[in-house]
């Protein structure tokens, strides 16, 4: 007898148009908020809110940090996505 793993609840679903994900549960919205707060934290660390603004070096580190955080976010939550990622044109209204 085969035991089936319990399906994990989806936190994200593919967008209706274009490529990307959108939250579909409170957990997904919470994780999205966490990502935004972490990016704002990076902006503070790399002096984006100083009157003089960030140096070019800090800007490069900030951009790399945002890419790293986003990659880690998507990688860690890949099993919480309902459906497949890919280009979407929305729902078809008529079939030809």
* Angle, CA 57 vertex, CA 55 and CA 61 arms, to 5°: 115
The DSSP symbol for 51 reads T
* Exposed/middle/buried for residue 47 (C-beta within 10 Å: 0-12, 13-18, 19+): middle
Q: What is the pLDDT of residues 1-50, one digit of tens each?
A: 443 456 678 999 988 888 888 999 999 999 999 999 999 999 999 999 99
- At 38 the pLDDT is 96
Q: The whole model's pTM is what?
A: 0.77
- At 40 the pLDDT is 96
Grade residue 82 by pLDDT with cuts at 50, 70 and 90: confident
């Amino acid at each position: 007898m085969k035991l089936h793993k319990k399906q994990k609840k989806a936190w994200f679903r593919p967008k209706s148009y274009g490529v990307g994900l959108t939250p579909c549960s409170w957990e997904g919205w919470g994780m999205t908020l966490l990502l935004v707060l972490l990016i704002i934290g990076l902006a503070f660390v790399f002096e984006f809110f100083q009157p003089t603004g960030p140096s070019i070096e800090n800007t490069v580190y900030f951009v790399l940090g945002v890419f790293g955080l986003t990659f880690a976010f998507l990688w860690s939550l890949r099993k919480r996505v309902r459906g497949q990622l890919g280009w979407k044109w929305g729902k078809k209204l008529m079939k030809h």
